[in-house]
Amino acid sequence: MCRPHATGPPDAAQFPQSRTTTESSAKNRSAAALTTTTPSTEIIMAETIQTTAAGNAMPLSAALRPGGALLALDLGTKTGWAVQPATGPVQSGTQTFRPNRFEGGGMRYLRFTDWLVEIAMMTSGLHRVVFEEVRRHAGTDAAHAYGGFLATLTGWCEQHEVPYQGVPVGTIKRHITGKGNADKAAVIAAIRVRGFNPVDDNEADALAILLWATETQGGVR
């Protein structure tokens, strides 16, 4: 299980990550403003238990609490992520799920599943998940990896009844830079103007997805 190395405020150390950045509280927007396809009424469910590979047990209801966090993902073996908790500043970073030389390729997806569980627990539940919807890839390996992460994510969200939404790449770039075909450098620059300091394009993309989701209420505005 990954362990955090936070560079943000004290509570940022709770997040499972390799790197963390924060945004000033004045710029934060609540993920609770997003519209979802789930009812706003209280969710009633059995206390089913999920056990991760590390042996940690989590009530499934922990991932379903109304008013929880918004999670934005740039899916891949090196996944960029950004979280807007119900309260507090934005957290963001990257997480690598590459298997080692003695493991099969499926281990990356098991690690990804465990990481999702950790995020749900550390944020007191996920309100919604948004991710970059990629329809073209530079190579076959990248396409296969993305498909695996997408299937793992959407299956996990379906299992835990967490609303999820894919956003086209051009939509995200147009929102953050004004151009639907902006390059990686332009996206990073636009994110820095917003007060963030992403380590690479993966983290920048995740932050761009998060800003799109909060500022357009999931595409409603």
Per-residue pLDDT tens over the stretch 55-86: 444 455 545 455 689 999 999 999 999 999 98
> What crossing angle do the helices spanning 184-193 and 169-177 adopt, rounded to 10°?
50
Q: Is 161 left (phi over 0), alpha (psi -120 to 50) or beta?
A: left
What is the torsion angle, in degrees rounded to the nearest 10, for the CA atoms of residue 65, residue 68, residue 70 and residue 71?
-70
Asked whether the predicted pLDDT for residue 88 surpasses 50, the reply is: yes
- C-alpha dihedral sign at 121, 119, 64, 145: negative
Q: Which SS3 state, helix, strand or coil, does residue 220 take?
A: coil
Q: State how far the alpha carbon of 59 is from the alpha carbons of 41, 45, 150, in Å.
A: 20, 10, 23
Structure tokens at 8: 């943000």
- Mean pLDDT for 188-210 is 97
**Residue of higher predicted confidence among 152 and 144:** 152
**Residue of higher predicted confidence among 16 and 107:** 107
CA–CA dist 40, 13 (Å, integer): 31
Asked whether the predicted pLDDT for residue 36 surpasses 80, the reply is: no
pTM assigned to the model: 0.72
Burial of 72 (0-12, 13-18, 19+ CB in 10 A): buried
What are the start-end ranges of the H helices in 39-179? Answer: 107-122, 140-160, 169-177
List, in order of start, the domains of the chain with CATH numbers.
59-215 (3.30.420.10)
Percent of the chain with pLDDT over 70: 67
CA–CA dist 81, 206 (Å, integer): 5
CA–CA dist 220, 162 (Å, integer): 19
Q: Does residue 146 contact residue 76 with C-beta atoms inside 8 Å?
A: yes
Q: How confident is the model at residue 137 (pLDDT cuts 50, 70, 90)?
A: low
Q: Looking at residue 15, what is its pLDDT? A: 59
Q: Looking at residue 162, what is its pLDDT? A: 93
Q: Looking at residue 7, what is its pLDDT? A: 37
CA–CA dist 182, 25 (Å, integer): 28
Percent of the chain with pLDDT over 90: 53
DSSP-assigned letter for residue 196: -
- 2-16, 29-43, 64-78, 193-207 — most confident range: 193-207
At 138, phi and psi to the nearest 5?
A: -70, -30
Asked whether the predicted pLDDT for residue 34 surpasses 80, the reply is: no
How many helices, marked H, and strands, marked E, lie in the chain?
5, 8
